[in-house]
Amino acid sequence: MTLTRRLAQARPSVRWHLGRAVTSAVYRRAFGSIGAGTVIVRPHKLQGVDRIHLGDGCSVFEGAWLACEPGGGPLRIGNRTYLGHGVHVHALDPVTLGDDCVLADGVFIGSSDHDRDDRHQVHGTGPITIGDRVFVGQRAVVLGGVTIGDGATVGAHAVVTRDVPAGATVVGIPAKVLGGDA
């Protein structure tokens, strides 16, 4: 078996250690900032990294897409925040994720949209602020102009189009507070 095939099929612990080495040797020099102990493992796409800031102890897993459009951002990710496989965070307007957040696999967070007349053009949709200790479930979507309060939970596959109060749980399309009228 070739070395490249072995690396591609490596156990998760091997990929983690390789990611830690690449984060230390390459990403730390390119990003706006990366805190101590943060590891990025085999991302799908990195764009505008000079405007991306990751706190201490973050985990960014395979297939992640972290992007700041030209002139856009910044994208700020707090300490000890976990980005699962295939997470896509896209910033034209500023995007801020707090400390101790968990973004499950396949989550999309984006502060931009395509123009209705010229689909090749993008425009900002408003800043996104996600507080501390927020859990965003698998394949959920958070759109621009939204603030999610500390300790909130976003259910799997929910589409968040408006603010979520601290401590609330939201589900559905569009996301609504569970057991509430919001």
Please provide the DSSP assignment of 16-51 as one string. Answer: HHHHHHHIIIIIHHHSSEE-TT-EE-S-SEEESGGG
d(CA 119, CA 117): 6
Residue 120 a catalytic site member: no
> In the chain, what is the straight-line distance between the N-terminal and C-terminal CA atoms, in Å?
56
| Torsion sign over Cα 18, 20, 22, 25 | negative
Question: CA-CA distance, 146 to 136, in Å (whole number)?
Answer: 14
How long a stretch of residues is the chain? 182
**The one catalytic residue among 90, 114, 120, 157:** 114
Residue type, 177: V
Please give the DSSP secondary-structure letter assigned to residue 132. T
Residues recognised as catalytic: 114
